[in-house]
């Protein structure tokens, strides 16, 4: 597609439920990134994919968080047993390949606003 697409744009869930957030990167972008933006804070790195492997998932806050990617396409971020502190905007970005982000910049999606009640 023309840009990075994320769905849903908004999600309200009850504490303890599982949620899945979806990211469609730009076609041909092999690198994909997930970030979390809490209210009033900067973005926190969660995980990086090169193709369908995740060389760095050091930013995932707990084992309730997991992510996968199908080939060089769609990625899904799953949060199990959601807690109120998981409320945030989850942003996905993609770039042509690792290392090109600093050359060309990363293309970010509009994010999924997750609210846990």
Q: In the complex, which residues of this chain contact other proteins (CB under 8 A)?
A: 4, 31, 33, 35, 40-45, 48, 50, 56, 91, 93, 95, 98-99, 101-103, 105-111
Minimum distance of other proteins from residue 19's CB (angstroms): 19
| Residue closer to other proteins, measured from CB, 5 or 80 | 5
Q: Which two tokens stand for residue 73?
A: 């396409």
State which residue, 109 or 114, has the beta carbon closest to other proteins: 109
Are 53 and 62 spatial neighbours (Cβ–Cβ below 8 Å)? no
The two tokens of residue 81 are 């047993």
Least Å distance between CB 81 and other proteins?
Answer: 27
Q: Which is nearer to other proteins, 33 or 65 (CB)?
A: 33
Residue 37 Cβ, how far from other proteins at the closest point, in Å? 8
Min dist CB 68 to other proteins, Å, is 18
**Can you tell me which residue has the tokens 């770039």?**
95
- Closer to other proteins by Cβ: residue 79 or 106: 106
């Amino acid at each position: 597609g023309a840009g990075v697409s994320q769905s849903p744009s908004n999600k309200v869930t009850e504490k303890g439920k599982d949620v899945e957030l979806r990211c469609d990167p730009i076609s041909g972008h092999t690198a994909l990134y997930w970030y979390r933006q809490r209210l009033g804070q900067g973005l926190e790195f969660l995980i990086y994919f090169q193709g369908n492997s995740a060389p760095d998932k050091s930013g995932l806050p707990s084992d309730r968080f997991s992510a996968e990617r199908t080939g060089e396409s769609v990625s899904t971020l799953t949060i199990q047993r959601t807690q109120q502190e998981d409320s945030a905007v989850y942003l996905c970005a993609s770039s042509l390949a690792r290392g090109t982000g600093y050359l060309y910049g990363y293309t970010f999606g509009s994010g999924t606003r997750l609210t846990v009640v």
